[in-house]
Amino acid sequence: MTLFAFYGTFTSTQPGHGNLAGARFVERSRTAPRYRLLLVDGRWPALVPYDDGVDIECELYECSEKLLERLARVEPPGWSRGPVELEDGPTVEAFVGDAQLNARGIDVSEHGGWAAFVSSRARPRARGPTSP
């Protein structure tokens, strides 16, 4: 079993979570402040290493290699398995975005995690006063 960090569409409150069937949830955690969370192509989350990074929310799961190989096949081009340092020091694996994704992405790190970013987009926007 491999300890693996998920930070985006596969996390527990997101639509892709069913893809983790067979994985065992370990705990919620945060990355070390060495990454940025990008919204790529208007739909995909990417955790990308940055010199001026921040800590990003993630969930740790114990996963079989068979499951991780299946998930790797559905990841878009530009994401690959790589090491991610957690806030408390250990290093685990995750699907990490390549630096080339910066050109196609918008930094959404200010939300601290993918679920918070998605939630912020779902909130209705305040309207101005209406006329009688």
- pLDDT confidence of residue 14: 93
Q: Work out the average pLDDT over 103-113.
A: 96
Chain segment 86-104, per-residue pLDDT in tens:
999 899 999 999 999 999 9
Instruction: Name which of 87, 33, 98 is nearest 60 in CA terms.
Output: 87
- pLDDT confidence of residue 125: 55
Predicted model pTM: 0.89
- pLDDT confidence of residue 123: 61
Read off the tokens for 106: 């918008």
Can you tell me whether residue 40 is helix, strand or coil? Answer: strand
Question: 5: Cβ–Cβ under 8 A, 6 or more apart, which residues?
Answer: 29, 31, 58, 59, 60, 84, 86, 92, 93, 94
Backbone φ and ψ for 98, nearest 5 degrees, come out as -75, 155
- pLDDT confidence of residue 122: 73
Task: Write down all domains in the chain, each with its CATH number in brackets.
Answer: 2-122 (3.10.490.10)
Chain segment 34-81, per-residue pLDDT in tens:
999 999 999 999 999 999 999 999 999 999 999 999 999 989 899 999
Q: What whole-number distance in Å separates Cα of residue 77 and Cα of residue 99?
A: 12
